[in-house]
Structure 1
Amino acid sequence: MNGSLGNQSGMQGPPPNPFGNAFYGTGSGLIRGGLGAYGEKFLGSSSEFMQSNISQYLSDPQYYFQVNGQYVRNKLKVILFPFLHRGHWTRITEPVGGRLAYKPPVHDINAPDLYIPLMAFGTYVVLSGFSLGVFGRFTPEALSLQFTKGLAGWFFHILLLKGLLYSLGSGEAPLLDIVAYAGYGFAGLSLAVLARIFWSYSYYFLLPWMCVCMAVFLVKTMKRVLLGGARGYEKHSTRHHYLLLFMAAVQFPLLFWLGNVSG
């Protein structure tokens, strides 16, 4: 009786199939290996595609914050007094990974950075609020309006420079480069707003000078830095001259509009 029960209990499951286990292990290994290889290939190609496009249009954000005190001082001199810049305007390259790459701002005065534009924009907003308070027109709404005006002016300047580069045949410049160059104008604006707090008439002498300096700085930058030298610039020199002249002229109404701090 016990033996029959033992036999019946032993017959409840099907006998093991060594060939099935072998085929199952082999099949699952092949599937896992194939999917893994396909996944690695797909992710690798996607990563290369994203890196190539992101580096083309955005570049590495950390690159724009590799600055030190000496760079900031020298860069402000170039922005505020471009006539005194006796060096070249082209960026310095170095071999990295078998190809040429631009040196970071800490090693190249002509490299764009985002530290100065962001700090200058923050200083511009703070000084605008202080100016509103000095002249008795400060309200949270007025400060918010000035902040929004600054962002709108910065965004318009970015669109202007980007459109100009497309017209000049150099539309592949990284977006963060354009953001940096468009934001350098806030350095001069901050000085003009600060001078107006102490002597209102100095604003009308200082701001036109800042417009001229910003125009010269951007013209030099567009010709030598973003266009990659004079040869590409000389192909359609007449048309390029008019476009650069237009960009320089726009600095006056744009900076005067941003510098008009009113409640």
Structure 2
Amino acid sequence: MAAMNSDLGGLAGRPANPQPNHFESALYGAGPGLIRTGLGAYGEKFLGSSSEFMQSNITQYLSNPQYYFQVNSQYVRNKLKIIFSPFFHRGHWTRITEPVGGRLSYKPPVQDINAPDLYIPLMAFGTYIVIAGYALGVLGRFTPEALSLQFTRGLLGWFLQVILIKGLLYSLGNGEAPLLDIVAYAGYGFAGTSLAMLARIFWGFSYYFIMPWFCICTGVFLVKTMKRVLLGGPRSYERHPSRNHYFLLFLAAVQFPMLFWLGNISGWSSVSRVS
């Protein structure tokens, strides 16, 4: 018997056909499937919530950059008229909405004159740098460093305007405006500043009439725009009307030192009239 057991490789004494453990088999068969299903559901939920977060938070502040460049020549012409003379704008100041994907969305600039765009601010900023370079050349002070300094001044002024408008909106109880909207509103001032600088090159004294006018127009445009933004969403504007009016008045008043500072170039006093 011992030899037989030895020949059988020690299998004697063990059942030839051991009964399967149904509990272990069930765990073995279902385990990977359950894990895959659980991980899949969790991943789906995680990705879904992440996508929802991105959509509701990041896009809220950055929006879609392509939206701000949907312009045509008619829009640019009419928008510049409003920026340069907001007193004569006879239409409303509210933006037009349309249903998109089950929710309301604003129409692009090409379909709504009150929509913010980045085409005009970027073109105005480029014009501002070109005119500054030309003025430096007329003054005999043109150097890459001087032009770089003017470029930095323009960017800093734009950034300060963005911070000012963003802080104002937070103070008035509406800090949810998309960041690119604020960047667009803050950049419209370069249009008037560029024209005032150009006028100063050819006729120095005109600058002191044209620049204050553009400061007033930019201030009025921003005030009317900010009131439209405030009245278009959750706000505390109606609860503190007097305080909010002071804030908006401050925004308009700040345009005077801001735009004069942006339009200032060292040596302006020595500019002579160019024939």
On whether the aligned pair clears a TM of 0.5, the verdict is yes
Checking the alignment, whether the CA contact within 8 Å between 2:121 and 2:187 is kept in structure 1 is yes
The one-letter amino acid paired with 2:114 is: N
Q: Which residue of 2 aligns with 1:136?
A: 140
Q: Which residue of 1 aligns with 2:164?
A: 160
Q: How far did residue 124 of structure 1 move?
A: 0.5
Paired positions, count: 245
Q: How far did residue 213 of structure 1 move?
A: 0.4
Q: Are residue 185 (structure 1) and residue 198 (structure 2) matched?
A: no
Checking the alignment, whether the CA contact within 8 Å between 2:172 and 2:236 is kept in structure 1 is no
* Consecutive unaligned residues in structure 1, runs of 5 or more: 1-18
Q: How far did residue 33 of structure 1 move?
A: 3.2
Q: Percent identity?
A: 80
Q: Are residue 172 (structure 1) and residue 213 (structure 2) matched?
A: no
Give me the whole-angstrom Cα distance separating, in 2, the residues matched to 1:217 and 1:232: 21
Q: How far did residue 31 of structure 1 move?
A: 2.9
Give me the whole-angstrom Cα distance separating, in 2, the residues matched to 1:179 and 1:235: 27
Give me the whole-angstrom Cα distance separating, in 2, the residues matched to 1:254 and 1:198: 23
The one-letter amino acid paired with 1:101 is: S
Q: How far did residue 118 of structure 1 move?
A: 0.9
Q: How far did residue 121 of structure 1 move?
A: 0.7
Checking the alignment, whether the CA contact within 8 Å between 2:219 and 2:253 is kept in structure 1 is yes
Q: How far did residue 225 of structure 1 move?
A: 3.2
Q: How far did residue 55 of structure 1 move?
A: 2.3
Find the partner of 1:81 among 77, 81, 85. Answer: 85
1:200-257 C-alpha deviation (Å, 9 max, x unpaired): 221111111100100110111111234328x964432211111111111100000000
Length-normalised TM-score, structure 1: 0.87
Checking the alignment, whether the CA contact within 8 Å between 1:170 and 1:227 is kept in structure 2 is no
Q: Which residue of 1 aligns with 2:257?
A: 253
- In structure 2, the residue corresponding to 1:110 is in which secondary structure? coil
Q: Are residue 61 (structure 1) and residue 61 (structure 2) matched?
A: no
Q: Which residue of 2 aligns with 1:52?
A: 56
Q: Which residue of 2 aligns with 1:112?
A: 116
Checking the alignment, whether the CA contact within 8 Å between 2:230 and 2:237 is kept in structure 1 is no
Checking the alignment, whether the CA contact within 8 Å between 1:211 and 1:255 is kept in structure 2 is yes
Length-normalised TM-score, structure 2: 0.83
Rg larger for: 2
Q: Which residue of 1 aligns with 2:39?
A: 35
| Backbone CA RMSD of aligned residues | 2.2
Q: How far did residue 108 of structure 1 move?
A: 0.5
